[in-house]
Amino acid sequence: MQASATAARYDKEEKPQTKLFSLRTPYMKQGRITQLVAETENMWIHTKINYEGGENEIHTHLDEDHSFIVLEGQMSVFDEKGNELKVGKYQGVMIPKGAYYRYHNTGPDNLVVIRVGAGIKGKPQGGEDMRVRPDGKPLPAYSAENKTVEPIEDTRFFADFAG
């Protein structure tokens, strides 16, 4: 995962203030990219662009509720039983902590989504041990086990005008 050059990050020691962030993210020729665009102690926002694939193994997050909102393309989200939700442009899906899922780009082009995550106040967030498979073992996001393909960026950008 990488952070956008214009990511809005907040330190819990600083005075709360409004900050601007950009959704500018490179399109992909291969693989996927997840880019942090804004973060507070209890919420984080990423852009995710997938040329192919997605988060390809069933997993859950033990420490956060999150949502995917499709800006371009289409995706399918599957639960642990293989049930499919088709999510199109300007639609989203809510995934509460503990719900198992995987998603896949089902369109012919790049899939561009916003991922918004929210934590539980007072509980530690993140860490590979909080993203787990149905057997309870950690599932690292960028692992061969999760069918990660080496990302190759395109020369074009989503929201290029956003700076």
Whether the CB-CB separation of 45 and 22 falls below 8 Å is answered with no
Domain ranges of the chain: 2-11+20-147
Q: What is the 3-state secondary structure (H, E, C) of the chain?
A: CEEEEEEEECCCCCCCCCCCCCCCEEEEEECEEEEEEEECCCEEEEEEEECCCEEEEEEEECCEEEEEEEEECCEEEECCCCCEEEECCCCEEEECCCCCEEEEECCCCCEEEEEEEEECCCCCCCCHHHEECCCCCECCCCCHHHCCCCCEEEEEEECHHHC
- Ranked by mean pLDDT, which of 12-16, 86-90, 142-146 comes out on top? 86-90
Instruction: Tell me the per-residue pLDDT of 47-85, one tens digit each, with 9 for 90 and over.
Output: 999 998 877 899 999 889 999 999 999 999 999 999 999
Instruction: Tell me the per-residue pLDDT of 22-43, one tens digit each, with 9 for 90 and over.
Output: 999 999 999 999 999 999 888 9
CATH architecture of 2-11+20-147: Sandwich (2.60)
